[in-house]
Every structure is written in C-alpha cells, then in structure tokens.
C-alpha cells in the first residue's frame, strides 16, 4: 500500500492506494468518531462490493446503515440526494455517524454533498471504485449534484477524512468506464506534469490491459498531482481551476446531450481537444502538439471530436460555467504540453472556431 497526504492543516487526510484495502477494518476504524457508519452505494456497485465492506465493519463491531441509489449520472439530482437523507433520518443517524461513499464519482459527489449538509456536516470517507474517481473525484472535497441547466451546479467544498483507492475494484469496471477515467489521468500530464504525459505515451496499453503496477502508478501520480493543487488552492481561487482543462466544453456536451449519454471522461477528452485547438489558434500549441494529444486520447479509445450540437448551444451552455466571472468566460488552455493557464480574453469568434473545428 502507498499513502499520500492531502495537506490541509487540521483537515489533512491520507489517500491509501493498494489492493484489497477495504477488507481491512484497521484502515477505516481510526477515522470513525463512533462505531456507527452509513454507507452510500448504488445498485451496480452494491452487489459487487457492499458485502465485503459490511463484513469488515461488522468484524470491527461497527454497525451500518445502507442507502442504495439508482445507478448513473442521470440520477445525480435532488430526488436521489433525498434518498440519502431519507435513509439517514429513518435510521436515526447522528452527526457523529460517519458516511462512507462506496462507488464511482456519481456516488462520491452525492454522498459528499449529503455529508456536508446532513445535520450541518458529518464525517465522510471515500472508497472510490472507478478509475476516474480514484484519480480525481474522491480527492479534493468537491461535492455536487447536477441541475437540468448545468453540471455540478449545486454543491459544497467538503473534505473527506480518508480516501481508500483499492485498485482491485477496477477489475470489474467496464472497458468504456476505464477509458473514461484515462481522460482525467491524461489531464494531469497535460496541465502540469509533462514527464507523466511521456510515461503515458509509453505505457497506455498497460493501463488498458489493467496491469496492476501500471494502474497503481497512474493512480498514485494522478493523486499526487491533485493533492498538490488542492493543498495550494482548496476552494479554487486560482490554480485549482487548471484541473478543469476541457471541462467547460465537456460540461456543455454532457448537459446538451442529456446526462449519462456521454460519459464525463469522454466529454472531457473531446472538450480538451477543443481547448487544445483554441490554444493552437492563439499560437501556443503547434499542429504537432495537437497531433500528439489526439494520438494519446485516440489510443485510449476516447472521442477527439465533440457532440454534434450547434455552436450557439455550446456557447450558451458554456456561459453557465462556474469559472464565469462578471459574465466573462474564463477557459483553461495550454501554453504547452505540461503547462496550463487560465485565459479570460479569448474572442468569441475564436472560441466558436475551435468548437467548430472539433465538432462532429
Ligand atoms: P460513475 O460514478 O457513474 O461510475 C461509472 C459506472 O461504473 C457506473 O455505472 C457505476 O455504477 C459503475 N461502477 C463503479 N464502480 C464499478 C466497479 N468497480 N465495477 C463495475 N462497475 C462499477 O462515473 P465516474 O466516471 O466514476 O464519475 C463521474 C462523475 O464524477 C461525474 O458526475 C463527474 O461530474 C464527477 N467528477 C467529480 C469530480 C470532483 O472533483 N468531485 C472530479 C471529476 C469528476
Ligand atoms: N475535478 C476538478 C477539481 O477537483 O477541482
């Protein structure tokens, strides 16, 4: 097992990365306030991993309540969030009960928001079970649900006490979901870690074959990057926004196409190609850089062009982005491979050209 630390003063927490982690109650127990937990999972992950977690907690004499949510991005909404509160209240969970999210980013984001708000905040542990959630969403304390007009529009910053990334859970992950997770892995190389980008160019097939050592390295390197950024800028006053490379375009695709039709990672890959194209139009990236990025996403089986949608609709949806300031769109762009910047001065026609160049 490898352990990283998210350094946030008194709210610092460890990320354990390894195999068969949540069968070991001694990793979880020190983080519980009382011998009571509520587990939030969904109807896909629950049948695979809930029993193992419950048995481990039971062996440590910890009692559990369980909320099983319907699966999918389409359920990342108020109604489904309320199912968590229904369970917590019906089973008289207390402010000291620890909430454990067992699942991918959808479960993690919703459980985290529930933990942030139930009785004004209860302790929270992330057990991410997708590549995307192990490399990104379980770390850093962003929690949210979607609104029909925009992705992740309602939420809170709320840090977990512990993240347990058990890479054995990736054995059961569908190929399409593994590939979607790779989009966020590639993102770290692009925004701040050129050596990692090169490593990915040399080792992508190992990740697709689910080589355990390669996966553990990619999860650790991604989390190390994310932990550094979050420690420097927890509430996204500056640098943290760089983690949103491709997301402004990508969120427009996810919202415009209907939540769940494009996977988040797929939309991020296509959105990153739009951001890269805009960076090329600004004279920052060369055509060779674009080809290199496109080749890596292509090898990962990710889309390199966005959904067919009128450019006006892209721009309208992008106007809801959380990085909009005083009505002005701020985009994460690439000065070079391995160095992202926030840019608030792209002319609308240039943004439209980048979208059109990378639109199906
Ligand atoms: P997801 O949670 O929908 O999981 C993908 C699918 O895999 C689901 O059907 C899920 O039930 C299934 N699944 C999960 N673990 C499995 C396993 N081990 N074996 C088999 N099936 C499994 O999607 P995701 O890609 O994990 O997360 C996407 C979400 O994360 C989006 O809502 C996105 O907005 C959010 N996100 C949040 C942050 C953040 O910082 N909070 C960062 C990135 C993404
Ligand atoms: N996934 C972007 C962030 O955590 O800031």
- Pick the atom of ligand 1 nearest to 265's CA: 25
Contact 122, 91 (CB under 8 A): no
Distance CA 286, CA 305 (A): 18
The b/e string for 180-190 (b: 16+ C-beta within 10 A; e otherwise) is bbbbbbbbbbb
Distance CA 136, CA 282 (A): 29
pLDDT digits (tens, 9 = 90+) for 168-220: 999 999 999 999 999 999 999 999 999 999 999 999 999 999 999 999 999 99
Of 192, 251, 330, 358, the catalytic one is: 251
Ligand 1 proximity of 169 Cβ (cutoff 6 Å): yes
Distance from residue 177's CA to the centre of ligand 1 (Å)? 8
- Going by DSSP bridges, is the β-strand pair 162-166/124-128 parallel, antiparallel, or unpaired? parallel
- Pick the atom of ligand 1 nearest to 112's CA: 41
pLDDT at 212: 96
CA end-to-end distance (rounded Å), the chain = 43
Distances (CA, A) of 105 to 141, 193, 252, 339: 12, 23, 18, 26
Is residue 345 flagged as an active site residue?
Answer: no
Distance from residue 285's CA to the centre of ligand 2 (Å)? 24
Of 142, 179, 192, 330, the catalytic one is: 142
Question: In degrees rounded to 5, what are phi and psi of residue 346?
Answer: -75, 130
Q: Point out the residues of the chain with pLDDT beneath 50.
A: none
Ligand 1 proximity of 83 Cβ (cutoff 6 Å): no
Distance CA 269, CA 298 (A): 9
Of 16, 87, 161, 226, the catalytic one is: 226
Distance from residue 207's CA to the centre of ligand 1 (Å)? 18
Distance CA 28, CA 106 (A): 22
Contact 256, 317 (CB under 8 A): yes
Q: What DSSP string runs through 5-55?
A: EE--GGG-EEEEEESS-TT-HHHHGGG-SSSEEEEEEETTHIIIIIHHHHH
Is residue 36 flagged as an active site residue?
Answer: no
Is residue 226 flagged as an active site residue?
Answer: yes
The SS3 call for residue 128 is: strand
Could you tell me the domains of the chain? 2-172 (3.40.50.1970), 175-357 (1.20.1090.10)
Of 73, 220, 234, 236, the catalytic one is: 236
Nearest CA among 304, 332, 295 for reference residue 188: 332
- Going by DSSP bridges, is the β-strand pair 150-157/162-166 parallel, antiparallel, or unpaired? unpaired
Distance CA 116, CA 137 (A): 15
Of 92, 120, 209, 308, the catalytic one is: 120
What is this structure's pTM? 0.97
Distance from residue 302's CA to the centre of ligand 1 (Å)? 16
The SS3 call for residue 300 is: coil
Distance CA 196, CA 198 (A): 5
Contact 21, 219 (CB under 8 A): no
The SS3 call for residue 99 is: strand
Ligand 1 proximity of 136 Cβ (cutoff 6 Å): yes
Our measurement of the distance from residue 200's CA atom to the centroid of its chain's CA atoms, rounded to an integer in Å, reads 19
Is residue 2 flagged as an active site residue?
Answer: no
From 43, 45, 104, 259, mutation site for ligand 1 pocket: most ligand atoms within 8 A of C-beta: 104
CA angle 211-214-217, nearest 5°? 145
Distance CA 49, CA 32 (A): 20
Ligand 2 proximity of 104 Cβ (cutoff 6 Å): no
Distance from residue 228's CA to the centre of ligand 2 (Å)? 12
Sign of the CA dihedral with 216 first, then 221, 227, and 230 last: negative
Is residue 247 flagged as an active site residue?
Answer: yes
Our measurement of the distance from residue 31's CA atom to the centroid of its chain's CA atoms, rounded to an integer in Å, reads 23
pLDDT at 323: 86
- Pick the atom of ligand 1 nearest to 133's CA: 26
Distances (CA, A) of 3 to 17, 164, 185, 219, 311: 6, 9, 18, 11, 44
Ligand 1 proximity of 332 Cβ (cutoff 6 Å): no
Ligand 1 proximity of 186 Cβ (cutoff 6 Å): no
Distance from residue 240's CA to the centre of ligand 2 (Å)? 7
pLDDT at 23: 85
Residues pairing with 333 in the sheet = 341
- Pick the atom of ligand 1 nearest to 76's CA: 32
């Amino acid at each position: 097992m490898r352990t990283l630390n998210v350094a946030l003063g008194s709210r610092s927490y460890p990320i354990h990365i390894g195999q068969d982690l949540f069968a070991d109650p001694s990793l979880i127990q020190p983080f519980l306030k009382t011998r009571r937990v509520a587990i939030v999972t969904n109807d896909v992950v629950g049948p695979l991993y809930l029993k193992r977690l419950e048995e481990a907690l039971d062996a440590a004499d910890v009692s559990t309540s369980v909320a099983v949510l319907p699966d999918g991005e389409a359920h990342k909404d108020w109604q489904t969030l309320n199912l968590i509160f229904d369970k917590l209240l019906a089973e008289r969970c207390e402010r000291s009960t620890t909430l454990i999210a067992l699942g991918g980013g959808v479960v993690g984001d919703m459980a985290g928001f529930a933990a942030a708000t139930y009785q004004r905040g209860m302790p929270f542990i992330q057990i991410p079970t997708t590549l995307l959630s192990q490399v990104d969403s379980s770390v850093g304390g962003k929690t949210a649900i979607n609104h029909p007009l925009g992705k992740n529009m309602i939420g809170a910053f709320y840090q977990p006490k512990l993240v347990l990334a058990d890479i054995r859970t990736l054995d059961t992950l569908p190929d399409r979901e593994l590939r979607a997770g790779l989009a966020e892995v590639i993102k770290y190389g692009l925004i701040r870690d050129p050596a990692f980008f090169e490593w990915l160019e040399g080792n992508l097939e190992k990740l697709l074959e689910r080589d355990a050592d390669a996966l553990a390295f990619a999860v650790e390197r991604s989390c190390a990057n994310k932990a550094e950024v979050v420690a420097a800028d927890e509430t996204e006053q500056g640098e943290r926004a760089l983690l949103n490379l491709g997301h402004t375009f990508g969120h427009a695709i996810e919202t415009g196409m209907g939540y769940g039709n494009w996977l988040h990672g797929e939309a991020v890959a296509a959105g990153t190609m739009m951001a890269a194209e805009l960076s090329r139009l600004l004279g920052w990236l060369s055509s060779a850089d674009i080809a290199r990025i496109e080749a890596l996403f292509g090898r990962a089986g990710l889309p390199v062009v966005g959904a067919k949608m009128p450019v006006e609709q892209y721009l309208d949806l992008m106007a809801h982005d959380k990085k909009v300031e005083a009505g002005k769109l701020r985009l994460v762009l690439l000065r070079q491979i391995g160095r992202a910047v926030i840019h608030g001065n792209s002319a609308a026609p240039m943004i439209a050209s980048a979208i059109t160049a990378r639109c199906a």
